[in-house]
Amino acid sequence: MTRYSYLIAGLALLLALSCQHDAPPPEGDFSGWPVYAGSKAGIRYSSNRQANTENVRQLQRAWEYDTGDKSPDNRSQIQCNPIVVDGVLYGTSPQSRLFALNAATGEPLWVFGPYTAGGQVRTPEAVYQISRGATYWQDEQGGDKRIFYSVGPRLYCVDAEKGTMVTGFGGGGYIDLREKLDADRDLSGAYAVGTSPGIIYKDMLIVGMRLSEDAGALPGHIRAFDARTGERRWIFHTIPHPGELGYDSWDDPEAWKRAGGANNWAGMALDEERGIVYVPTGSASPDFWGGRRKGQNLFANSLLALDAATGKYIWHYQVVHHDLWDRDLPATPNLITVHHDGRAVDAVAQITKHGYVFLFDRVNGKPLFPIEERPVPTQALPGEAPWPAQPAPTLPEPFARQRFGPGDLTQLSPETHAYMLERYRKVQSREPFTPPSKGGVWIFPGFDGGGEWGGAAVDPATQILYVNSSELPWSLTMVDRPEAEAAQPISRGQFTYMQHCMACHGAERQGFGDAFPALAGIGKRYKEPDIRAIIDNGRNMMPAFPQISAEEKAALLDFLLGRKETGLPVREPAPVPGGGTAELPPYIMTGYHRFLDDDGYPGITPPWGTLNAVDLNSGRLLWKVPLGEYPELTARGIPPTGTENYGGPVVTAGGLVFIAATKDEKIRAFDKTNGRVLWEAELPAAGYATPAVYSIDGRQYIVIACGGGKIGSKSGSRYVAFALP
The answer to whether residues 292 and 301 touch, using CB atoms and an 8 Å cutoff, is no
Neighbours of 711 (CB within 10 A): 21
Measure the N-to-C terminal CA separation of the chain; round to a whole number of Å: 31
636 Ramachandran zone, left/alpha/beta (phi>0; psi -120 to 50)? alpha
How many angstroms separate the CA atoms of 1 and 149, rounded?
44
pLDDT of residue 12: 37
Residue 525 pLDDT class (50, 70, 90 cuts): confident
Q: Which of 58-62, 90-94, 182-186, 535-539 has the lowest mean pLDDT?
A: 535-539
If one looks up domain 478-594 in CATH, what number appears? Answer: 1.10.760.10
The answer to whether residues 367 and 359 touch, using CB atoms and an 8 Å cutoff, is yes
Indicate whether 13 pLDDT > 70. no
Residue 534 pLDDT class (50, 70, 90 cuts): confident
Rounded mean pLDDT, 163-179: 95
pLDDT of residue 544: 67
| Structural domain boundaries in the chain | 478-594
pLDDT digits (tens, 9 = 90+) for 398-441: 999 999 999 999 999 999 999 999 999 999 999 999 999 999 99
Rounded mean pLDDT, 485-497: 66
How many angstroms separate the CA atoms of 265 and 212, rounded?
11
How many angstroms separate the CA atoms of 464 and 692, rounded?
19
In eight-state DSSP terms, residue 180 is: S
* pLDDT mean across residues, the chain: 89
How many angstroms separate the CA atoms of 668 and 657, rounded?
8
Q: Which of 40-49, 109-118, 431-440, 675-684 has the lowest mean pLDDT?
A: 109-118
In DSSP terms, which residues pair with 84 in a beta bridge? 33, 89
Rounded mean pLDDT, 58-62: 98
The answer to whether residues 677 and 31 touch, using CB atoms and an 8 Å cutoff, is no
pLDDT digits (tens, 9 = 90+) for 573-620: 555 554 445 567 889 898 899 999 999 999 999 999 999 999 999 999
Q: Burial of 287 by CB count in 10 Å (0-12 exposed, 13-18 middle, 19+ buried)?
A: buried
Question: pTM for the whole thing?
Answer: 0.90
pLDDT of residue 24: 38
Indicate whether 152 pLDDT > 90. no
Q: Which residue has the higher pLDDT, 144 or 525?
A: 144
The sign of the dihedral angle between the CA atoms of 467, 470, 473, 478 is negative
How many angstroms separate the CA atoms of 162 and 143, rounded?
13
Rounded mean pLDDT, 304-326: 98
HSE, side-chain direction, 13 A CA sphere, residue 441: 24
Calculate the CA 50 to chain-centre distance: 31
pLDDT of residue 118: 45
pLDDT of residue 19: 37
Give buried/exposed letters for 512-543 (b at 16+ CB in 10 A, else e).
Answer: beeebbbbeebeeebeeeebebbbebbbbbbb
Residue 3 pLDDT class (50, 70, 90 cuts): very low
How many angstroms separate the CA atoms of 307 and 222, rounded?
12
Neighbours of 254 (CB within 10 A): 9
Q: Is 317 helix (H, G, I), strand (E, B) or coil?
A: strand
How many angstroms separate the CA atoms of 677 and 460, rounded?
22
Q: Which residue has the higher pLDDT, 125 or 672?
A: 672
Whole-Å CA distances, 178 to 120, 181, 247, 283, 418:
23, 7, 22, 19, 50
Report the amino acid identity of residue 645.
N
How many angstroms separate the CA atoms of 715 and 721, rounded?
18
Residue 539 pLDDT class (50, 70, 90 cuts): low
Q: Is 653 helix (H, G, I), strand (E, B) or coil?
A: coil
pLDDT of residue 497: 78
Total residues found in the chain within this entry: 725
The DSSP code sequence of 185-242 is S--TTS-EE--S--EEETTEEEE--EE--STTPPB--EEEEETTT--EEEEE-SSPPT
Residue 117 pLDDT class (50, 70, 90 cuts): very low
pLDDT of residue 502: 72
Nearest to 221, CA basis, from 257, 185, 260, 190: 260
Indicate whether 511 pLDDT > 70. yes
pLDDT of residue 47: 95
pLDDT of residue 559: 82
Nearest to 217, CA basis, from 241, 238, 232, 247: 238
Calculate the CA 360 to chain-centre distance: 22
Residue 483 pLDDT class (50, 70, 90 cuts): low
Q: Is 402 helix (H, G, I), strand (E, B) or coil?
A: coil
Q: Is 535 helix (H, G, I), strand (E, B) or coil?
A: helix
Rounded mean pLDDT, 97-124: 78
- 224 contacts: CB under 8 Å, gap ≥ 6: 201, 204, 205, 206, 207, 232, 233, 234, 235, 308, 311
The answer to whether residues 85 and 103 touch, using CB atoms and an 8 Å cutoff, is no
In eight-state DSSP terms, residue 519 is: -
Residue 23 pLDDT class (50, 70, 90 cuts): very low
pLDDT of residue 395: 98
The answer to whether residues 620 and 351 touch, using CB atoms and an 8 Å cutoff, is no
Q: Which residue has the higher pLDDT, 540 or 550?
A: 550
The answer to whether residues 450 and 583 touch, using CB atoms and an 8 Å cutoff, is no
The answer to whether residues 555 and 493 touch, using CB atoms and an 8 Å cutoff, is yes
The sign of the dihedral angle between the CA atoms of 193, 209, 191, 285 is negative
Calculate the CA 563 to chain-centre distance: 37
- What are the helix (H) ranges across 297-434? 414-425
Whole-Å CA distances, 423 to 289, 383, 418, 596, 609:
25, 29, 9, 10, 22
The DSSP code sequence of 92-142 is E-TTS-EEEEETTT--EEEEE-SB-TTS-BSSGGGG-------EEEE-TTS
Q: Burial of 59 by CB count in 10 Å (0-12 exposed, 13-18 middle, 19+ buried)?
A: buried
Whole-Å CA distances, 5 to 451, 606, 625:
18, 10, 4
pLDDT digits (tens, 9 = 90+) for 655-707: 999 999 999 999 999 999 999 999 999 999 999 999 999 999 999 999 999 99
Whole-Å CA distances, 409 to 361, 374, 421, 517, 639:
39, 26, 7, 26, 17
- Element at 569 (helix H, strand E): none
